[in-house]
């Protein structure tokens, strides 16, 4: 279900003045409703809306607002809406002063699992006053609803877990091309090694992310996805200008997102977020960002809010653990989470060691530095969980390429999640329910 001007109750719209005999109610109603539109919407569209409301007969508009302000009241019962049976999106235009963005935010907070939020630059009649702009919100929501249904979100499943961030580097008869100045030498691990890793972290599904070392050569990734189509999904590295045929081939193989990054050579620039988002929007994909959020804090929030597809921030925002919760970058992440504008992957702990800490477990003081590091990461995770657990994913980052520390055991990586999130219901949401929605996995009747 997708609701516009989504609120639990709206007061003040049901009025007696449309019945006054000395008032031209049709023109008054048209002018009153016109004030609900954005001044940024095309003038010709705003005039059409005004004309439509000027054509109503006596009492028509008043009857409409009776339902709006008097008849509908979901306060006290919104929490009983089961979004595992019927997914819910609620949107409200920024300039809508009948149902304001705060009203929709309250409704989203009251309905567990509901998604949506404010639409900047538009008003009360998004489909009429600025249809092309409204499509940038509607189409991704429709794609996600379709993914929810195809993944069996309504019926649930018996999955044990989904590791949402891994890589593979080899496939039979494929010699992938390394990018120039690759940051690491690819380890010789394939889809079978990955299956063994999934067993070690008690997950039966996984998401493979295109390695930066291979740039846009997706042959290994696509071969892996095709070998286990019911168990794997993928995140590609799609540069601007990628053909529709190539995107369709990736989608058929199981790709459900594309990655932008400036962590290693071989990535598509983070600054191309909007352009790439428009490229993949027709497929219902998301865009994953691997970047230190501090580098882009001045513009990233606005770009994410305007992006036509969901955005996933990888590796906890790629912020070192000594970047505290009061830092502008962390505050931006929390703000975007609260607005349902981003998802965050809880991953990459080894990549977030603060500068100045020697990555040697045998060096003096390392044990105490690592304890502070883990405590700080745990505090960040808890802050994200407190804001919006339904937009969090978990990834092991296997096989941990390019990290300065020794490769951690898979079991220890998985155990961190249990320490971060002791509540088994919240943990299952992050391990199963959320990635099922995000990546469109098919339902399962057992572990498999």
SS (H, E, C) the chain: CEEECCCCCCCCCCCCHHHCCCCCHHHHHHHHHHCCCCCCCCHHHHHHHHHHHHCCCCCHHHHHHHHHHHHCCCCCCHHHCCCCCCCCEEEEECCCCCCCHHHHHHHHHHCCCCEEEEECCCCCCHHHHCHHHHHHHHHHHHHHHHHHHHCCCCCCCCCCCEEEEECCCCECCECCCCCCCCCCCCCCCCHHHHHHHHHHCCCCEEEEECCHHHCCCCHHHHHHHHHCCCCEEEEECCCCCCCHHHHHHHHHHCEEEEEEECCCCCCCCHHHHHHHHHHHHHHCCEEEEECCHHHHCCCHHHHHHHCCCCEEECHHHHCCCCCCCCCHHHHHHHHHHHCCCEEEEECCHHHHCCCCCCCCCCCCCHHHHHHHHHHHHHHHHHHHHHHCHHHEEECCCECCCCCCCCCCCHHHHHHHHHHHCCCHHHHHHHHHHHHHHHHCCCCCCCCC
Mean pLDDT of 317-323: 98
Please give the residue that has the higher pLDDT: either 215 or 11: 215
| Contact (Cβ atoms closer than 8 angstroms) between residue 306 and residue 276 | no
Is 199 among the domain residues? Answer: yes
Mean pLDDT of 275-287: 96
Count Cβ atoms below 10 Å from residue 264 Cβ, excluding itself.
Answer: 17
Query: Quick one: pLDDT at residue 151?
Result: 52
Domain boundary among 150, 173, 203: 150
Residue range 438-447, pLDDT digits in tens? 999 975 543 3
Mean pLDDT of 13-26: 76
234 shares its domain with 339: yes
Calpha distance 327→387 (Å, rounded): 16
What is this structure's pTM?
0.65
Residues 6+ apart with CB under 8 A from 24: none
66 shares its domain with 19: yes
Calpha distance 359→186 (Å, rounded): 21
Is 255 among the domain residues? Answer: yes
Range of the domain at 288: 162-439
260 shares its domain with 409: yes
Residue range 332-362, pLDDT digits in tens? 999 999 999 999 999 999 999 999 888 887 7
Calpha distance 222→168 (Å, rounded): 10
Query: What is the overall mean pLDDT for the chain?
Result: 88
pLDDT grade, residue 149 (50/70/90)? Answer: low
Query: Quick one: pLDDT at residue 388?
Result: 97
291 shares its domain with 145: no
Query: Quick one: pLDDT at residue 349?
Result: 96
248 shares its domain with 373: yes
Query: Quick one: pLDDT at residue 87?
Result: 81
Residue range 21-63, pLDDT digits in tens? 777 877 887 887 889 899 989 999 999 988 888 887 777 777 7
Calpha distance 149→85 (Å, rounded): 9
129 shares its domain with 172: no
Is 37 among the domain residues? Answer: yes
70 shares its domain with 140: yes
Domain boundary among 150, 183, 215: 150
Angle at 428 between CA 160 and CA 413, to 5 degrees: 75
Mean pLDDT of 293-303: 98
138 shares its domain with 196: no
CATH code, domain with 113: 3.40.50.1820
| Contact (Cβ atoms closer than 8 angstroms) between residue 257 and residue 288 | yes
Is 330 among the domain residues? Answer: yes
Mean pLDDT of 139-145: 70
Is 89 among the domain residues? Answer: yes
Q: Look at the chain and report how many structural domains it folds into.
A: 2
Query: Quick one: pLDDT at residue 153?
Result: 39
Residue range 403-417, pLDDT digits in tens? 988 888 888 999 999
Please give the residue that has the higher pLDDT: either 274 or 99: 274
Is 445 among the domain residues? Answer: no
Domain boundary among 120, 150, 180: 150
Query: Quick one: pLDDT at residue 144?
Result: 66
């Amino acid at each position: 279900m997708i609701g516009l001007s989504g609120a639990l109750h709206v007061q003040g719209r049901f009025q007696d003045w449309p019945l006054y005999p000395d008032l031209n109610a049709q023109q008054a109603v048209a002018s009153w409703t016109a004030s609900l539109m954005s001044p940024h919407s095309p003038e010709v569209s705003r005039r059409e809306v005004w004309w439509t409301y000027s054509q109503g007969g006596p009492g028509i508009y008043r009857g409409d607002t009776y339902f709006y302000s008097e008849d509908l009241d979901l306060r006290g019962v919104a929490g009983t809406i089961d979004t595992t049976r019927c997914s819910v999106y609620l949107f409200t235009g920024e300039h809508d002063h009948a149902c304001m963005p705060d009203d929709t935010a309250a409704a989203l907070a009251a309905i567990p699992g509901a998604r949506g939020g404010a639409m900047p630059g538009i008003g009360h009649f998004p489909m009429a006053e600025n249809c092309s702009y409204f499509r940038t919100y509607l189409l991704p929501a429709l794609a996600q609803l379709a993914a929810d249904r195809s993944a069996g979100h309504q019926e649930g499943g018996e999955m044990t877990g989904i590791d949402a961030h891994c890589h593979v580097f080899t496939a039979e008869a494929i010699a992938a091309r390394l990018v120039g100045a690759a940051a690491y030498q690819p380890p010789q691990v394939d889809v079978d090694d990955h299956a063994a890793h999934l067993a070690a972290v008690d997950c039966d599904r996984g998401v493979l992310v295109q390695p930066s070392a291979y740039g846009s050569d997706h042959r290994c990734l696509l071969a892996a996805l095709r070998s286990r189509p019911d168990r794997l999904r993928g995140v590609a590295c799609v540069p601007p200008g990628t053909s529709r045929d190539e995107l369709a081939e990736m989608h058929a193989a199981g790709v459900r997102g594309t990655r932008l990054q400036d962590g290693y050579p071989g990535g598509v620039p983070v600054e191309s977020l909007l352009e790439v988002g428009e490229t993949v929007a027709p497929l219902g994909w998301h865009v994953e960002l691997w970047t230190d959020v501090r580098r882009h804090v001045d513009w990233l929030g606005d770009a994410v809010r305007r992006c036509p597809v969901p955005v996933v921030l990888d590796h906890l925002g790629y912020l070192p653990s000594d970047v505290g919760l009061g830092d502008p970058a962390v505050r931006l992440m929390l703000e975007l989470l609260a607005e349902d504008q981003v998802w965050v992957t809880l991953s990459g702990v080894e990549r977030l060691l603060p500068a100045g800490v020697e990555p040697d477990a045998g060096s003096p003081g390392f044990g105490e530095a690592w304890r502070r590091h883990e405590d700080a990461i745990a505090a960040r995770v808890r802050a994200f969980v407190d804001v919006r657990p339904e937009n969090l994913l978990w990834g092991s980052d296997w096989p941990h390429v390019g990290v300065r520390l020794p490769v951690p055991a898979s079991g220890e990586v998985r155990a961190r999640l249990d320490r971060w999130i002791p509540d088994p219901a919240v943990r299952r949401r992050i391990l199963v329910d959320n990635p099922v929605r995000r990546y469109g996995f098919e339902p399962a009747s057992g572990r498999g």
